[in-house]
Amino acid sequence: MKLVTFLHSGREKVGALTHLGIFDFSHISAELNTSMIEIIRRSGELLKEVHSFLVGERTWTASAILDEGHVQLLSPIPYPPSVRDGYAFRQHVETARKNRGLGMIPEFDQFPVFYFTNHRAIIGPGELRVGGRRLEQLDFELELAAVIGREIRNPSLEEADAAIFGYTIMNDFSARSLQMEEMKMNLGPAKGKDFATALGPWLVTKDELSKREILSPSGSLLDAKPDHPTRGRRRHALARGRHRLGNGGNGLLPGAQRFEGHA
C-alpha cells in the first residue's frame, strides 16, 4: 500500500494512492480520520480495516477519491518522533572526508554510524524555501528512509528487520559551506543540515516490496533496480543499522526514521 498525508480544503488527512486517485481514509470510519503516526502505531487493526474496505464489496462514494492535482501532498510523516541519518556508502564517506582533508577510517567497516538530524524540519514534495548562507554550496542527496512500525529497544537483527513498517524517498539537504566550517570542530553536522529534510511523496508498506527482499547474514536487502545509475556501495544492511541505533537510550518509536545515504 502507498500511504500519503495530504492537505485538502485546509485539512490534513491520511489516505492511500490507488489507480483511481487518492483514497481518503476518513470516508471509511472515524478512527481512520487520524494521523500517519497513529496509522503506523495501530497498523495491525487500522490497515486491515482499510484493506477490507478497498477489496470488499462496499461502494466508494465519489468524494472518497481525490485527484492528485486537487490536493497538496505533504511528507508522509510530517512530524516523526526522531530522525537518524546513516553514513552508509563508502565512496560517499571517502569523498566527504577527503574534502575536509581527512583520510578514511577503518571503523567505518566495523559498525554502522549515524547522527540525529532535525525532525522538526521535515518537508514534503514541492517547494524548498532557503536563503542566506545556506544557498552557498547548497547540496542534496537521494536516500532511502526506513520507517519503524513499533517500539523496539535492544533488538536482535531479526527483531530489527521485523520492526520496519515501510520505506520512503528522502532528500537530505546540506549547506556545505556551513557544514565544512563546523565539522572542523569535530562536532556536528549542525547548522549545515538543520533547515530541511524532504520525504515522500508516499510511504510504501513493507509488504509491497516483499518479493524483492533478499536475506543476508547482516539482515534484509532490497533487490531494486533504480531508473538511473547510482554510484558507490552501501556497506551496512538496513537491519544492522536499526539493530545498532535501537540499542540503549530511548530505543526506537513508531514513525521513527533512519536514512540510508547516499545513492
For residue range 204-224, list pLDDT tens digits in order.
999 888 777 777 766 666 666
Query: Which 8-state DSSP code applies to residue 126?
Result: S
- Average pLDDT, stretch 32-48? 95
Instruction: Give CATH for domain 83-261.
Output: 3.90.850.10
Hey, CA dihedral for 11, 16, 21, 27, is it positive or negative?
negative
Calpha distance 152→23 (Å, rounded): 31
Integer distance in angstroms from the first to the last C-alpha of the chain?
24
Contact 27, 64 (CB under 8 A): yes
**Strand partners of residue 17:** 22
pLDDT value, residue 262: 47
**Exposure string for 121-152, b = 16+ CB within 10 A, e = fewer:** ebbbeeeeeeeeebeeebeebebbbbbbbbeb
Tell me the per-residue pLDDT of 136-179, one tens digit each, with 9 for 90 and over: 899 998 888 999 999 988 888 888 888 999 999 999 999 999 98
pLDDT at 244 over 70: no
pLDDT value, residue 251: 63
Minimum mean pLDDT among 49-63, 129-143, 181-195, 235-249: which range? 235-249
- Considering the entire predicted model, what is its pTM? 0.83
Calpha distance 172→193 (Å, rounded): 8
Q: Per DSSP, which regions of 62-163 are E strands?
A: 65-66, 72-73, 83-87, 114-116, 122-123, 138-148
For the chain, the structural domain boundaries read: 2-73, 83-261
Helix, strand or coil, per DSSP, at residue 133: helix
Contact 73, 27 (CB under 8 A): no
Minimum mean pLDDT among 19-33, 139-153, 193-207, 249-263: which range? 249-263
3-state helix, strand, coil in the chain (%, to 5): 30, 30, 40
- Plot region of 137 (φ>0 → left; ψ -120 to 50 → alpha; else → beta): left
